[in-house]
């Protein structure tokens, strides 16, 4: 059975997106990519120095990966738009993750500025994947202005706390026609599996892999968890019962 995720005209086999930050060494990235099976990798433009004589993170991203530059550091729509254009001019392609954060304490995304940036960049032909709080009205407006997907957080970014916004995520999955990619806060493979069982189109995570004792092994675990969750969703989860229910019939017993 073919079950591909299609975004911006590209078909993806893997529904796990990964990041490039927080690793003890960028040299770990190729093996993490291999073990995870991921085809999409996000990178902050501010971490790229194409003129560095000692190399940079881009040197460790395997060819064939779909680059998803992000606008990390942008505090408003204008800054996000500028970063996106710079990324495209630098040869990073036309996919962009819009990340607009003006809140320094909780690092929550600014929905209003995100919508403005998405509208401009989608109009310029970018494949825009905006990072948002799981707000239905914001998500609906992003659909209207041309987003290719919506990426609601499961918990505060970098927290590894899991799906603290589960009920709100469920609403977005039910109401938004675009792919809903759970981004931020996922801490364990079981969190990713649960998100996929709910019907999320994909999961994007970084800290949970990069901060693990064995990032390569954790990447493999997440790849398996996302795949398992997706299969469970497609199969249709069994009905939950309030009381015990025998799995074998109570008739047909042997008689003397």
Helices 111-123 and 77-89 pack at an angle, to 10 degrees, of: 40
Q: Is 97 one of the catalytic residues? A: yes
Q: Which of 97, 105, 164, 166 is catalytic?
A: 97
- Under 8 Å between Cβ of 127 and 99: no
* Count of alpha carbons within 13 angstroms of residue 148, beta-carbon side: 20
Name the pairing type of β-strands 5-7 and 10-12. Answer: antiparallel
CA distance 141 to 138: 5
Q: Which residues are catalytic?
A: 97
């Amino acid at each position: 059975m073919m079950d591909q995720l299609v975004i911006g005209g590209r078909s993806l086999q893997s529904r796990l997106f990964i990041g490039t930050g927080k690793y003890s060494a960028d040299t770990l990235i190729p093996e993490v990519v291999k073990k995870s099976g991921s085809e999409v990798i996000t990178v902050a433009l501010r971490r790229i120095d194409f003129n560095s004589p000692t190399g940079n993170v881009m040197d460790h991203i395997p060819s064939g990966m779909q680059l998803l530059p992000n606008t990390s550091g942008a505090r408003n729509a204008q800054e996000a738009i500028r970063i996106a254009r710079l990324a495209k001019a630098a040869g990073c392609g036309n996919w962009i993750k819009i990340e607009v954060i003006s809140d320094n304490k909780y690092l929550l995304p600014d929905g209003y500025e995100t919508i403005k940036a998405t509208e401009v960049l989608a109009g310029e032909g970018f494949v825009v994947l905006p990072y948002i709080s799981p707000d239905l009205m914001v998500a609906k407006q992003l659909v209207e202005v041309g987003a290719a997907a919506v990426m609601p957080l499961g918990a505060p970014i970098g927290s590894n706390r899991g799906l603290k916004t589960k009920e709100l995520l469920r609403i977005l999955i039910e109401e938004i026609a675009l792919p809903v990619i759970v981004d931020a806060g996922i801490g364990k493979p079981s969190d990713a599996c649960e998100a996929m069982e709910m019907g999320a189109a994909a999961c994007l995570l970084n800290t949970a892999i990069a901060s693990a004792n064995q990032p390569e092994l954790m990447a493999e675990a997440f790849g398996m968890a996302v795949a398992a969750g997706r299969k469970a969703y497609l199969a249709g989860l069994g009905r939950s019962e309030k009381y015990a229910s025998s799995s074998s019939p109570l008739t047909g017993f042997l008689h003397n």
